[in-house]
């Protein structure tokens, strides 16, 4: 792999570069105490290169484990040939200056120290200056400059420095494919050497959305204000739009609301055009020069196992865009069918964002081939396939089909630069609602189990698990795992990769809760993870603060709060609200922790509260009030499970109203327990199950949750209602 610079620019451009060079690039000119009389020239023709001993297979990237060789070649001006000259080389590494001498590179302060020449030599037609040979370089940005100066003559400098970047091999950063051929080879090898068949269940998160209305109606419960989520019910205050099944098809049914009679009457029912079951809808209102719009999203499979790579092939995500200006007569405007499996979606203003997963599907290819003949057939199919055959496409209502992505828009993680790990493609697509066919996409090869989105950024996270035991969806986590996070900025209705980072721990076992474990606050991302063995006494919670550095596509860890919770407690709920985080851990009692994030470089636990039971979901009521919904619990130190103390027995569903006006002294103002042991609510696993109306000047706040009530005492002699496990 070579990185080369060759400048044969016009004299005007060279002169401009010389000015830039003088003022901001090459403090070697500190030697020019003689410069007033001798002067300076820029070399009009030079080249520089850096190479590594072994090129990476799929991307042009330098890692700190590589062995580097680099050299400058300067063409000597005709009038300088035959003269004795001094040769100089200097470089900047992560903002610090170094000087190349005959004995090697040394730190250098250009403000106080004179430069030392590497050598003296009689000038011929060119000078070759070696920067380093088979050297191991640290991760960072490099900027190397070279010059020569004949005695008594002007300093002659290279017109442009050699710039390159070295990245950490242990950082899970995304790298661009260097070509179509590289991406094709990567995917084909991933198909041939498919990932393991470990059975891991990852239920993808349900979606939901918010509808603005001046009427007193609840909207979809969202994690982040301004970031809409798909839901099965939407309202504009006068009408309800509800998804339901009509035989084997999905229908969108419109109801007219009668606020006085608390009634709803059906206006119309429209059978959707897609073949997939619709999972959710978006209602887009208050549009500039456009009618109200409904977008249906379908194709998500909640029960598809994440590790079942082949289950994500030959799948489709379908979108339908409907004119909702007349709720009684919805009109289909456009459809998009994408060769991808929907993971999740969000909407911000007039842009819809989709996250999808795709495993290439080739007709005749046997993913479970084992005989010599079937393996040979697979090899022939791959040999005859092209990159276009391996990538997802999108088809509109006019049956026009185009590629969803290209190699220029895709990345692969550092640990996959040389070996293929997975043929699955994770794609993020931005779709402008006024022009659905003008979509933009970016992708990476690998995994992503969780989507978190703010109004500024989109984050994809996946935990690298080490499983001790897997039984259906009951997964026991081992203490050793990390979570990788990739950040994408939302720019001009598109997506731009900004960086990646890693944190210790996992994001938990509940798909709906995973995104709530992340929260963006200005330029920072806060992540809470669970570390330690889930079923032993060493489990705890960890808060990690990450920040985009702008260098090396890195999300840098700026601070950590470790050991949150008592030994053995697990994280049950997390909520990031402005400059605070609220965390609930549990084993026998419920500690509520208030974390102060005012100074993101130095977060701290401001206060805590310990009560019976726990909260699974935290909902903001006001700046001073927080609602927790979870379970009541009765401590039982005598109960043994998994070789240790169980801790407590869950009881009925518990609602707790917390006063957090003083973060140092949170308190429980009131609580309500519904039902007995066995009572449950969908809110505990899906935040969309909560309907909420904030308080007004004349009316109190109201909320509604579904309850599966267990409240009767069995009539049996053996049943003792006083036991905590009853």
d(CA 467, CA 481) in angstroms, rounded, equals: 9
Above pLDDT 90, what percent of the chain? Answer: 52
The pLDDT tens digits of the residues spanning 650-678 come to 889 999 999 999 999 999 999 999 999 99
Helix, strand, coil percentages, rounded to 5, for the chain:
10, 50, 40
363 or 29, which is more confident = 363
Q: How many C-alpha atoms does 17 have within 13 Å on its Cβ side? A: 19
Q: What is the pLDDT of residue 551?
A: 73
Q: What is the pLDDT of residue 160?
A: 82
Distance set, CA 478 to CA 475, 482, 617 (Å): 10, 11, 25
Mean pLDDT over the full length of the chain: 84
- 706: pLDDT strictly greater than 80: yes
d(CA 576, CA 519) in angstroms, rounded, equals: 5
d(CA 463, CA 477) in angstroms, rounded, equals: 11
Q: What is the pLDDT of residue 13?
A: 25
- 51: pLDDT strictly greater than 90: no
Give the least confident one: 55-69, 94-108, 189-203, 577-591: 189-203
CB atoms within 10 A of CB 79: 10
- 474: pLDDT strictly greater than 90: no
Q: How confident is the model at residue 622 (pLDDT cuts 50, 70, 90)?
A: very high
Q: What is the pLDDT of residue 200?
A: 29
The pLDDT tens digits of the residues spanning 137-174 come to 988 889 999 999 999 888 888 888 888 889 888 887 89
Give the pLDDT mean for 261-289.
89
Above pLDDT 70, what percent of the chain? Answer: 84
Q: What is the pLDDT of residue 22?
A: 35
581 or 3, which is more confident = 581
Longest CA pairwise span in the chain (Å): 111
Q: How confident is the model at residue 473 (pLDDT cuts 50, 70, 90)?
A: very low
The answer to whether the beta carbons of residues 444 and 410 sit under 8 Å apart is yes
Give the least confident one: 7-21, 576-590, 621-635: 7-21
Distance set, CA 84 to CA 33, 72, 119 (Å): 20, 19, 10
Q: What is the pLDDT of residue 7?
A: 33
Q: What is the pLDDT of residue 637?
A: 65
Do strands 393-396 and 440-445 pair parallel, antiparallel, or not at all (unpaired)? unpaired
Q: What is the pLDDT of residue 467?
A: 47
The pLDDT tens digits of the residues spanning 94-105 come to 889 999 999 999
Q: Where are the alpha helices (DSSP H) in 624-711?
A: none
- 703: pLDDT strictly greater than 90: yes
644 bridge partner residues: 641
Q: What is the pLDDT of residue 418?
A: 84
Q: Under 8 Å CB-to-CB from 643, ≥6 apart: which residues?
A: none
Query: Residue 338: helix, strand or coil by DSSP?
Result: strand
Q: What is the pLDDT of residue 29?
A: 47
Angle at 444 between CA 315 and CA 489, to 5 degrees: 110
Q: What is the pLDDT of residue 214?
A: 47
Q: What is the pLDDT of residue 658?
A: 96
The answer to whether the beta carbons of residues 428 and 458 sit under 8 Å apart is yes
Q: What is the pLDDT of residue 197?
A: 35
CB atoms within 10 A of CB 718: 5
- 720: pLDDT strictly greater than 60: yes
The answer to whether the beta carbons of residues 676 and 663 sit under 8 Å apart is no
Q: How confident is the model at residue 180 (pLDDT cuts 50, 70, 90)?
A: very high
- 66: pLDDT strictly greater than 60: yes
d(CA 43, CA 31) in angstroms, rounded, equals: 18
The pLDDT tens digits of the residues spanning 503-555 come to 999 898 788 899 999 999 999 999 999 988 766 667 889 999 999 987 778 89
Give the pLDDT mean for 373-401.
93
The answer to whether the beta carbons of residues 228 and 211 sit under 8 Å apart is no
Distance set, CA 206 to CA 281, 404, 514 (Å): 12, 24, 12
Q: How confident is the model at residue 38 (pLDDT cuts 50, 70, 90)?
A: very low
Give the pLDDT mean for 587-603.
87
The answer to whether the beta carbons of residues 704 and 691 sit under 8 Å apart is yes
Tell me the range of 38-47, 199-208, 218-227, 559-568 where mean pLDDT is highest: 218-227
Q: How confident is the model at residue 478 (pLDDT cuts 50, 70, 90)?
A: low
CB atoms within 10 A of CB 719: 10
Q: How many C-alpha atoms does 255 have within 13 Å on its Cβ side? A: 16
Give the pLDDT mean for 105-111.
91
d(CA 564, CA 280) in angstroms, rounded, equals: 37
506 bridge partner residues: 530
- 18: pLDDT strictly greater than 50: no
Give the least confident one: 287-291, 348-352, 418-422: 418-422
Distance from chain centroid for Cα 577 = 20
Give the pLDDT mean for 316-339.
94
The answer to whether the beta carbons of residues 51 and 168 sit under 8 Å apart is no
Query: Residue 128: helix, strand or coil by DSSP?
Result: strand
- 5: pLDDT strictly greater than 70: no
* Tokens at 251, concatenated: 């229908």
- 6: pLDDT strictly greater than 50: no
* Tokens at 93, concatenated: 């590494």
Show the beta-strand stretches assigned E in 325-373: 331-338, 341-348, 351-358
The answer to whether the beta carbons of residues 11 and 44 sit under 8 Å apart is yes
Q: What is the pLDDT of residue 647?
A: 65
The pLDDT tens digits of the residues spanning 410-466 come to 999 888 888 777 788 999 999 999 999 999 999 999 888 889 999 999 999 988 765
The answer to whether the beta carbons of residues 382 and 192 sit under 8 Å apart is yes
């Amino acid at each position: 792999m070579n990185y080369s610079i060759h400048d044969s620019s016009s004299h005007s451009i060279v002169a401009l570069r010389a000015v830039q060079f003088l003022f901001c690039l090459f403090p070697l000119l500190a030697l020019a105490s003689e410069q007033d009389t001798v002067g300076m020239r820029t070399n009009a023709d030079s080249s520089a290169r850096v190479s590594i001993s072994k090129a990476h297979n799929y991307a042009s990237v330098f890692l700190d484990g590589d062995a580097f060789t680099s050299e400058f070649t300067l063409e000597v001006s005709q009038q300088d040939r035959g003269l004795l000259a001094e040769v100089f080389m200097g470089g900047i590494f992560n903002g610090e200056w170094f000087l190349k001498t005959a004995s090697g590179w040394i730190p250098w302060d250009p403000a106080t120290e004179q430069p030392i020449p590497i050598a003296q030599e009689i000038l011929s037609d060119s000078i070759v200056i070696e920067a380093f040979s088979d050297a191991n370089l640290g991760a960072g940005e490099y900027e190397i400059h070279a010059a020569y100066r004949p005695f008594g003559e002007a300093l002659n400098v290279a017109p442009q420095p050699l710039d390159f970047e070295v990245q950490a091999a242990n950082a899970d950063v995304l790298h661009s494919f260097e070509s179509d051929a590289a991406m094709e080879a990567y995917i084909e090898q991933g198909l041939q050497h498919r990932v393991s068949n470990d059975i891991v269940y990852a239920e993808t998160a349900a979606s939901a959305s918010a509808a603005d209305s001046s009427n007193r109606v609840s909207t979809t419960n969202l994690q982040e204000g301004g970031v809409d989520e798909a839901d099965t019910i939407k309202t504009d205050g006068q009408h309800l739009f509800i998804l339901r099944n009509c035989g084997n098809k999905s229908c969108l049914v419109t109801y007219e609301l009668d606020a006085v009679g608390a009634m709803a009457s059906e206006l119309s029912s429209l059978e959707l055009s897609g073949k997939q079951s619709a999972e959710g809808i978006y209602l887009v209102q208050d549009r500039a020069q456009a009618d109200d719009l409904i977008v249906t999203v379908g194709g998500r499979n909640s029960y598809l196992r994440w590790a079942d790579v082949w289950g994500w092939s030959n799948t489709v995500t379908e979108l339908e865009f409907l004119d909702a200006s007349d709720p009684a007569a919805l009109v289909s405007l456009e459809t998009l069918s994408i060769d991808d499996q929907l993971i999740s979606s969000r909407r911000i203003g007039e842009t819809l964002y989709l996250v999808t997963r795709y495993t290439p599907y080739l007709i005749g290819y046997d993913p479970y081939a084992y005989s010599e003949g079937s393996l040979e057939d697979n090899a022939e199919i791959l040999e005859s396939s092209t990159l276009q055959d391996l990538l997802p496409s999108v088809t509109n209502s006019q049956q026009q089909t185009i590629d969803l992505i290209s190699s220029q828009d895709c990345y692969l993680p550092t640990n996959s630069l040389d070996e293929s790990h997975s043929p699955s493609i994770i794609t993020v697509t931005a779709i402008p609602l006024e022009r659905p066919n003008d979509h933009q996409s970016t992708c990476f090869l690998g995994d992503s189990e969780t989507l978190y989105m703010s109004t500024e950024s989109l984050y994809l996270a996946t935990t690298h698990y080490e499983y001790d035991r897997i039984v259906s969806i009951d997964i026991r986590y081992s203490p050793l795992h990390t979570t990788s996070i990739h950040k994408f900025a939302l720019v001009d209705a598109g997506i731009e990769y900004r960086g990646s980072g890693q944190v210790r721990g996992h994001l938990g076992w509940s798909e709906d809760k995973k995104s709530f474990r992340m929260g963006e606050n200005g330029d920072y991302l806060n992540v809470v993870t669970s570390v330690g063995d889930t079923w032993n006494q060493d489990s705890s919670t960890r808060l990690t603060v990450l920040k985009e550095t702008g260098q090396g596509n890195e999300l840098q860890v700026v601070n950590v709060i470790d050991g949150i919770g008592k030994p053995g407690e697990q994280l049950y709920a997390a909520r990031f609200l402005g400059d605070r985080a609220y965390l609930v851990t549990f084993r026998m009692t419920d500690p509520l922790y208030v974390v102060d994030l005012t100074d993101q470089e130095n977060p701290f636990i401001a206060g805590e509260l310990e009560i019976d039971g726990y909260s699974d979901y935290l909902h903001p009521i006001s700046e001073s009030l927080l609602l927790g919904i979870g379970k009541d619990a009765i401590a039982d130190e005598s109960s043994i499970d998994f070789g240790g103390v169980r801790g407590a027995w869950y009881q009925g569903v518990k609602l707790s109203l917390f006063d957090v006006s003083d973060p140092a002294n949170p308190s429980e103002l009131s609580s309500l327990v519904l039902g007995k042991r066995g009572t449950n609510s969908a809110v505990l696993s899906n935040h969309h199950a909560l309907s909420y109306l904030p308080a007004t000047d004349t009316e109190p706040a109201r909320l509604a949750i579904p309850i599966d009530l267990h409240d009767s005492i069995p009539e049996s002699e053996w049943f003792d209602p006083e036991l905590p496990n009853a």
